[in-house]
Amino acid sequence: MLCPLDIGYRTLLEHRIPNKLNYRKYKSNHFLKETNFCFQNLLRNLLNVECRIEILRQRFNRLSRLDLRKTFEKIDKLGKGYILDIDVILF
């Protein structure tokens, strides 16, 4: 189980009283289904972003001479000043 480094928060999480309204099938499951689902989505999205960044890095490595400013401007077609995952997909 993942716990915060701060002792106070860790104690709150480890010794919290479960909600009596929501029955859990397994007693070892300390989080509600919604919390587990949100945490899984967070990890899935982090891995997805890391994979996309790695693919983009590999594409840049294949180019012999790369001007990072021009490349950034190519990816950022709308001129927002930042790159979203959809910008990388469309690149």
Kindly write down the DSSP assignment for every residue of 5-38, as one continuous string: SSHHHHHHHHTPPPPSSS--SSTT--S-HHHHHH
Tell which wins on pLDDT, 19 or 81: 81
Domain-embedded: residue 51: yes
pLDDT tens for each residue of 48-57: 999 988 888 7
Q: Which two tokens stand for residue 34?
A: 């919604």
pLDDT score, position 26: 58
Q: Which two tokens stand for residue 5?
A: 């480094």
Residue 70, domain extent: 32-91
Domain-embedded: residue 53: yes
User: Taking the mean position of all CA atoms in its chain, how far away is CA 65?
Assistant: 31
Closest CA to 75 of 61, 62, 60: 60
State how many domains the chain has: 1
